[in-house]
Amino acid sequence: MAAGTASKVSDDFGMASDRNKAMAFALFKRLSLDPNKYSSGRIESSDMTSLFSNILCLSDHQVPLSNEHEWVAFASSFPNDGDACLLALKHLNEELNLKSVLLDNGLKPSEADIVVFSAVHSCVSRLANTSVQKFPNVIRWMDYIQDKEDFGGVFAKIVVDKPEFIPIPELGHHLLGLKEIAKKKNSGDNKANGPSGKDSGANEKKKKTLEKETAEKDAESNISILSIQIGIIRKASKHPSADR
């Protein structure tokens, strides 16, 4: 029993040590610090809260934002156990329900996002697909952070399945398509309701009679039936009874 307890403590320390390393190098990258200025042994032996504060002291970092240390404490106490890990992720998922980043700074990540990302990454990367679907806000947030921040390869990329974006057709093309559909429909209706059989023959005969009458009228008014003569006027005089 004692051996099992010692093994668990060793595993927990190893997990915490790995988290510390990941967080430290992610912060070094973000703050443009030289990681060689902070010894590896010091990183492994420090608790996450102290490590975070010490790294910030090495930089020209501004005063910590409101609630930043609360999220650092959350990351520091993030569990390794499966069930406890899921409960912590549930809390984080609820916090991110209406946020893009942890400190609600619009769309700009803070150091708090880096620290919490470092703490939850290993847990999230081990989740089955069915479990991942329970934490949509966490997955959305992690996808956003890993796209915005350059971690220098410290973290394996969390693969997120995203629905394919299908653009809506342009309005003009869409209306043109509807017009063509309506035109074809009307054409089909006309064919279906058009004359057939006996009625069709009667209509054709009536049409020919009308064409014949029209041709005869055109012939009567043809200019070729007029007698047109051309002469030369040689003399013109005023008529005796014409008004003066």
**Who's near 108: CB < 8 A, 6+ residues apart?**
101
Contact (CB, 8 A) for 87 and 123: no
pLDDT for position 85: 92
Return the closest-CA partner of residue 105 out of 62, 146, 67: 67
Half-sphere exposure for 61 (CA within 13 Å, toward CB) = 21
- pLDDT band for position 163 (cuts 50, 70, 90): low
Structural domains of the chain, ranges and CATH numbers in brackets: 11-148 (1.20.1050.130)
With 50 as the cut, is the pLDDT of residue 9 above it?
Answer: no
pLDDT for position 142: 94
Q: CA–CA separation, 80 vs 165, rounded Å? A: 36
What confidence tens digit (pLDDT) does each residue in 75-127 have?
999 998 788 999 999 999 999 998 899 986 688 898 999 999 999 998 999 88
What confidence tens digit (pLDDT) does each residue in 16-65 have?
578 888 888 888 888 888 888 778 888 888 888 888 888 888 877 655 56
- pLDDT band for position 166 (cuts 50, 70, 90): low
What confidence tens digit (pLDDT) does each residue in 116-157 have?
999 999 899 988 888 888 999 999 999 999 999 988 888 888
Return the closest-CA partner of residue 141 out of 192, 100, 175: 100
CA distances, 155 to each of 1, 22, 172 (Å) = 35, 7, 47
